Amino acid sequence: MIKRIAFRTASRFVLQPWYRQVRGLTLGTRSVVLDDEDRVLLLRHTYAPGWFLPGGGVERGETIYDAALRELREEAAVTVEEEPRLMGIYLNDRVFPGDHVACFVVRRFRRDAFQPGREIAELAFFDTAELPDATTGGSRRRIAEALGAPIRSYVW
């Protein structure tokens, strides 16, 4: 377990910058998953501080929609029961130069049993008016937009 965490940490600081140089542009997804009470699903990674919307990278040969659905299954044990609504595509250049994030809204889904693992330490639904203090700024902005706030910037 320690070796895996060390590899992930090392890859984050060594491989990601290299990918950014040779690939130029990366694409990922995040999803605002809202339950019937308008609570939002957030997760905490094992390798980065804060609470995030679930998501991850789009793999070669995969559509952006398929990536969003896969990431929700893998990270949050969520199976989407309707096509997610694309809210927007945002530049995440401040964190990773050349990175873009497609953000989806999901309202109809089924939850399967979740077990914390190597990547995800914890996940929970939160009242959107009482998000954890450590919720990332980008996540906060996308949640507000999903609930009707105007999109003020397409920068994550």
Q: One digit per residue, pLDDT tens: the chain, 156 residues?
A: 566 666 666 666 676 666 656 667 899 999 999 999 999 999 999 999 999 999 999 999 999 999 999 999 999 999 999 999 999 999 998 878 889 999 999 999 999 988 888 889 999 999 999 999 999 999 999 999 999 999 889 999
Which CATH class for the 24-146 domain?
alpha beta
Query: pLDDT value at position 97?
Result: 84
Query: pLDDT value at position 10?
Result: 67
Residue written as tokens 């507000």?
144
**pTM of the complete model:** 0.84
- For 41-74, letters b (16+ CB in 10 Å) and e give bbbbbbeeebbbbbbbebeeeeebbebbbebbee
